[in-house]
C-alpha cells in the first residue's frame, strides 16, 4: 500500500469572538435529526455480598435511569444547545420507547416524527453499575437489547414522508446511523432530491461510512477507529496514514469537510483543496467518560455550520463541546451556556 507523505497541518487559529457569536445564534436554527434512537439504561446498585450460587457479586438495586442514547443523544444535545429539533425516527411500543418520548416531551421537542412500532424493540443498552455506599459506581456488566425484526415497510414510508416534509423548515439535517437500519443512505438520498441545495447535511455513521457516498452528505464526523475500519488500517501516531485515509474519504464522498475525532489527540479537519488542520484536545486529555461524545460533536458541528461558520470555526466549536462532555459521567449533554463559558475561558487564556 502506497503511503502519502505527512503534510504539515494548516494554521488552526480562529477568531474566538466569532465563535461566541456563532454559538449565540444556535437558538435561531432548526435541525432535523434522522437517527437510530437508542435507550441508555443505567441500573445502579450497592454490593451486598458474594453469591453462594456462584463467585459473583450480588447487587442490591437502588435505582434505574433511562436516558437518550445513540441518535436520541444527538437530538438531546441539539436541544440542550438551544436548537429547535425535529427528530425523525422509530421506537418500539415498549418501556424504553415510552421513556425516550416522555423525556423529549418534557424538553418541548416535537415528537410527532417519532413513530411507535408494535412488536419492535427499541435498541437498549443496559449498564449495571456497582459500588459501595458513598462511592462512584463502576460498570460491571452491559446487556444489549436489539430489534429482531426489520422495520415494517409502512413505517419506513412514513419516515420518508416525514423527513421530506420536515426538511422544508430546516437549516440542517443531521444523520446519526448506529446500524439499526432506521437512518439509511437510501432514505437520505430519497430526501436529498427534495431538499434545498444550501441545506447542510452532516453524518455520524458507526459502520461503513462510504455507503453514504451518493446520499448528498455535506460533512461527516467519524471517530478515528471508524475511519480506520473504513480503510482497513491503523493510524495511531502516523500522520501520513491519517492524511491518506482522510483525503480518500473526503474525495470518495465528495464532502465539503471531514472532521475526525481522535480522543486525547483532539480532532483533524479535512477540506477540499488539500487543506488539513489538527486541533489539540480541549481541556484535559484524561476523559472521565467518552460515552456519547460523538453525538455531542455531531450536534455542535451541525449547528455551527448551519449558522454559517467555516468548517475550521465549526471544528473548534465541536472540539470544545466534545472536551466538555467527556468530563461528565454517563451519556451526557452540554448546554449552550456551558459552551459559551468555555469559549470565553479560552479567550481569557489567550489574552493573558
In tens, the pLDDT along 211-243 reads 999 999 999 999 999 999 999 999 988 999 999
Q: Name the DSSP class of 286.
A: S
pLDDT at residue 4 above 50? no
Tell me what percent of the chain is helix, strand and coil, each rounded to the nearest 5.
35, 25, 35
The model's pLDDT over 8-35, given as tens digits with 9 standing for 90+, comes to 455 577 889 999 999 999 999 999 999 9
Residue 211, pLDDT score: 96
C-alpha cell at 308: 454559517
Label residue 5 by pLDDT band (50, 70, 90).
Answer: very low
Q: What are the φ/ψ torsions at residue 274 (nearest 5 degrees)? A: 65, 25
Catalytically active residues, by annotation: 295
Which is it for strands 138-145 and 257-261: parallel, antiparallel or unpaired?
unpaired
User: Which pTM was predicted?
Assistant: 0.91
Q: What is the pLDDT at residue 198?
A: 79
| pLDDT more than 90, % of the chain | 78
- d(CA 188, CA 175) in angstroms, rounded, equals 8
- Where do the H-state alpha helices sit in 92-169? 95-106, 153-167
pLDDT at 336: 95
- Radius of gyration from C-alpha coordinates of the chain: 20
- Give the three cell numbers for residue 58: 450480588
Long-range contacts of 105-113 (CB under 8 A, 24+ apart): 107/76, 107/79, 108/79, 109/75, 109/79, 109/85, 110/85, 110/86, 111/87, 112/162, 113/86, 113/87, 113/88, 113/89, 113/162, 113/163, 113/166
Which is nearest to 107 in space by CA: 87, 123, 121? Answer: 87
Rounded CA-CA distance 341/324 in Å is 11
Query: How far apart, in whole angstroms, are the C-alpha atoms of residue 156 and residue 181?
Result: 10
User: Tens of pLDDT along 293-326?
Assistant: 999 999 999 999 999 999 999 999 999 999 999 8
CA distance 70 to 214: 23
Please give the DSSP secondary-structure letter assigned to residue 223: B
| Alpha carbons 100 and 122: distance in angstroms, whole number | 10
Which sequence spans correspond to the domains of the chain? 16-36+82-118+149-351
- Over 80: is that where the pLDDT of 260 sits? yes
- Mean pLDDT (whole number) for 332-346: 92
Supply the pLDDT for residue 348: 67
Helices (H), 269-310: 293-306
pLDDT band at 351 (very low <50, low <70, confident <90, very high): low
Average pLDDT over residues 326-332: 84
Report residue 6 as a C-alpha cell: 505527512
Name the residue with cell 438520498: 189
Residue 6 has pLDDT above 90, yes or no: no
pLDDT at 291 over 50: yes
Contact 124, 38 (CB under 8 A): yes
% residues pLDDT > 70 (the chain): 94
16-36+82-118+149-351 architecture in CATH?
3-Layer(aba) Sandwich (3.40)
pLDDT at 10: 54
- pLDDT of 72 > 90? The answer is yes
Phi-psi region of 335 (alpha: psi -120 to 50; beta: other; left: phi over 0): beta
pLDDT of residue 8: 47
- Mean confidence (pLDDT) of the chain: 91
Helices (H), 145-278: 153-167, 185-192, 224-231, 239-252
> Do 35 and 177 meet the contact criterion of CB atoms below 8 Å apart?
yes
Per-residue cell: 182: 432506521
CA distances from 277 to 15, 19, 20, 269, 311 (A): 16, 17, 21, 5, 10
Is 80 exceeded by the pLDDT of residue 135? no
Amino acid at each position: 500500500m502506497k503511503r502519502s507523505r505527512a503534510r504539515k497541518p494548516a494554521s488552526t487559529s480562529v477568531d474566538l469572538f466569532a465563535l461566541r457569536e456563532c454559538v449565540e445564534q444556535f437558538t435561531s436554527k432548526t435541525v432535523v435529526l434522522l437517527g437510530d434512537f437508542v435507550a441508555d439504561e443505567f441500573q445502579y446498585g450497592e454490593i451486598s455480598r458474594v453469591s453462594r450460587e456462584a463467585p459473583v457479586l450480588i447487587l442490591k438495586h437502588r435505582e434505574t435511569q433511562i436516558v437518550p442514547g445513540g441518535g436520541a443523544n444527538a437530538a438531546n444535545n441539539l436541544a440542550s444547545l438551544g436548537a429547535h429539533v425535529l427528530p425523525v425516527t422509530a421506537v418500539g411500543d415498549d418501556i424504553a420507547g415510552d421513556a425516550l418520548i416522555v423525556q423529549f416531551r418534557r424538553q418541548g421537542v416535537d415528537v410527532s416524527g417519532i413513530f411507535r412500532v408494535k412488536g419492535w424493540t427499541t435498541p437498549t443498552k443496559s449498564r449495571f453499575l456497582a459500588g459501595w455506599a458513598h462511592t462512584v459506581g463502576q460498570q460491571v456488566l452491559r446487556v444489549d437489547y436489539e430489534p429482531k425484526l426489520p422495520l415494517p415497510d409502512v413505517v419506513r414510508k412514513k419516515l420518508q414522508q416525514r423527513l421530506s416534509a420536515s426538511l422544508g423548515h430546516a437549516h440542517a439535517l443531521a444523520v446519526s446511523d448506529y446500524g439499526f437500519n432506521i437512518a439509511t443512505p437510501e432514505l437520505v438520498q430519497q430526501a436529498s432530491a427534495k431538499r434545498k441545495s444550501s441545506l447542510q447535511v452532516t453524518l455520524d455513521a458507526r459502520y461503513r461510512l462510504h455507503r453514504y457516498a451518493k446520499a448528498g452528505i455535506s460533512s461527516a464526523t467519524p471517530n478515528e477507529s471508524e475511519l480506520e475500519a473504513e480503510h482497513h488500517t491503523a493510524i495511531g501516531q502516523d500522520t501520513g496514514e491519517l492524511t491518506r485515509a482522510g483525503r480518500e474519504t473526503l474525495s470518495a464522498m465528495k464532502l465539503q469537510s471531514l472532521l475526525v475525532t481522535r480522543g486525547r489527540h483532539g480532532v483533524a479537519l479535512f477540506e477540499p483543496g488539500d487543506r488539513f488542520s489538527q486541533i489539540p484536545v480541549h481541556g484535559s486529555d484524561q476523559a472521565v467518560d467518552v460515552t456519547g461524545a460523538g453525538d455531542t460533536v455531531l450536534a455542535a458541528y451541525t449547528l455551527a455550520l448551519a449558522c454559517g461558520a467555516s468548517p475550521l470555526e465549526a471544528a473548534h466549536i465541536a472540539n470544545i463541546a466534545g472536551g466538555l462532555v467527556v468530563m461528565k459521567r454517563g451519556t451526557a449533554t452540554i448546554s449552550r451556556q456551558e459552551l459559551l463559558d468555555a469559549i470565553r475561558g479560552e479567550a481569557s487564556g489567550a489574552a493573558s
